[in-house]
């Protein structure tokens, strides 16, 4: 054991302890193969459900293939799942006393939120990879070459990381795994209220405003543009959709600036 004294030592232990907690999440996955299988099946279900069931009835604005139109939306949906995943895990730790044990140990204070968000990033990459395979199987593909494609995935990862801090904060705020579980379905309207599955043109004005500013929409628009998939915003559209890449980066920065300090304060606060 080591006293956490100098800033450099503290930083080192924050990283080491954070990695230990990332390893913990991986260990949990290994104990629960069912979860991996669910993670594998979920994207396939989404692709089939939206691609073929909804796709049969929805017209893509400029006449493209619906499944090409859909995949960026599904990537954004998977990205958004970071909020729910991290929230549930933080709330479970807080309600089961695991968080108290961490707090009573001589470990780095910041390791818990950083470990949790780091672990989510790995899970997110895995889910994204599976989604890509599912997409390729149904005929989706990027059309604009390597660099824009890489940029699109990078944007997803950046936004995912920012969103995972929202999960940390909400999980610490609710502190109760049952409440957190009950909140998970609320994620669906957030992703539906966007351009992920249908164009926002037809929505009533106020709803369209919300949908256009939804980070899910901007991420979807950005990926459509970078992948060269149909439905990329053009002409007279709302500002966030006209500048989707910038907006995704702004969203990510804003979420991090707000939720990292809030989460850290919530985690370190003593006095309950």
Partner 1 sequence: MSDPIVIAEGLHKSFGGAHALRGLDLSVPGGTVCGVLGPNGAGKTTAVRILATLSDPDAGHARIAGYDVVREAGKVRERIGLAGQYAAVDEKLTGRGNLRMFGRLYHLPRRQAHRRADELLDRFGLMDAADRPVAGYSGGMRRRLDLITCLILRPDVLFLDEPTTGLDPRSRGEIWDSIRELVADGTTVLLTTQYLDEADHLADDIAVIDHGQVIATGTPDELKATIGDRLDVTLEDPAAMPEAATVLNTLAGTEPTTTDADRLTVALPATGLRLADIVRKLDHAGVAAADVSLRRPTLDEVFLRLTDHKEPVR
Which residues contact partner 1 by CB under 8 A?
1-4, 13, 16-17, 20-21, 23-24, 27-28, 31-32, 96-98, 100-107, 111, 270-272
For the chain, the first-to-last Cα distance in angstroms comes to 27
Between 117 and 200, CB nearer to partner 1: 117
Question: Minimal distance in Å, beta carbon 272 to partner 1?
Answer: 6
Question: Minimal distance in Å, beta carbon 204 to partner 1?
Answer: 44
Between 31 and 56, CB nearer to partner 1: 31
Do the Cβ atoms of 43 and 127 come closer than 8 Å?
A: yes
Question: Minimal distance in Å, beta carbon 20 to partner 1?
Answer: 4
Between 22 and 155, CB nearer to partner 1: 22
Between 101 and 143, CB nearer to partner 1: 101
Between 29 and 203, CB nearer to partner 1: 29
In our burial notation (b when 16+ CB lie closer than 10 A, e otherwise), range 17-26 reads bbeebbeebe
Question: Minimal distance in Å, beta carbon 123 to partner 1?
Answer: 14
Between 112 and 221, CB nearer to partner 1: 112
Residue 17 CB contacts under 8 Å (≥ 6 apart), including other chains: 107, 108, 111, 115
Question: Minimal distance in Å, beta carbon 224 to partner 1?
Answer: 37
Question: Minimal distance in Å, beta carbon 181 to partner 1?
Answer: 15
Question: Minimal distance in Å, beta carbon 32 to partner 1?
Answer: 6
Cα–Cα distances in angstroms (integers) from residue 189 to residues 21, 103, 181, 184, 270, in the given order? 31, 35, 16, 11, 35
Between 67 and 89, CB nearer to partner 1: 89
Q: Which has the closest alpha carbon to 165: 90, 59, 63, 227?
A: 90
């Amino acid at each position: 054991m080591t006293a956490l004294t100098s800033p450099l030592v503290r930083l080192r232990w924050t990283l080491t302890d954070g990695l230990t907690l990332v390893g913990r999440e991986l260990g949990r996955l290994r104990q629960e193969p069912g979860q991996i299988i669910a993670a594998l099946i979920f994207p396939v279900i989404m692709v089939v459900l939206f691609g073929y069931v909804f796709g049969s009835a929805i017209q893509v604005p400029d006449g493209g293939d619906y499944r090409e139109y859909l995949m960026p939306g599904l990537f954004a949906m998977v990205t958004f799942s970071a909020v729910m995943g991290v929230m549930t895990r933080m709330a479970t730790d807080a309600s089961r006393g695991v968080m108290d044990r961490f707090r009573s140990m001589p470990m780095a204070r910041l390791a818990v939120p950083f470990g949790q968000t780091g672990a989510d990033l790995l899970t997110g990459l895995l889910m994204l990879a599976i989604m890509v395979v599912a997409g390729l199987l149904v005929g989706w593909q990027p059309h604009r070459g390597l660099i824009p494609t890489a940029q699109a995935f990078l944007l997803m990862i950046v936004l995912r990381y920012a969103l995972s801090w929202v999960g940390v904060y909400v999980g610490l705020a609710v502190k109760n795994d049952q409440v957190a579980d009950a909140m998970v379905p609320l994620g669906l309207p957030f992703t539906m209220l966007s351009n992920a599955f249908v164009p926002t043109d037809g929505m009533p004005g106020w709803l369209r405003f919300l949908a256009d500013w939804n980070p899910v929409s901007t991420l979807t628009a950005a990926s459509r543009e970078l992948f060269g998939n149909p439905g990329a915003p053009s002409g007279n559209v709302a500002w966030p959709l006209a500048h989707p890449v910038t907006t995704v980066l702004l969203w990510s920065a804003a979420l991090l600036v707000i939720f990292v300090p809030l989460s850290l304060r919530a985690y370190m606060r003593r006095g309950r």
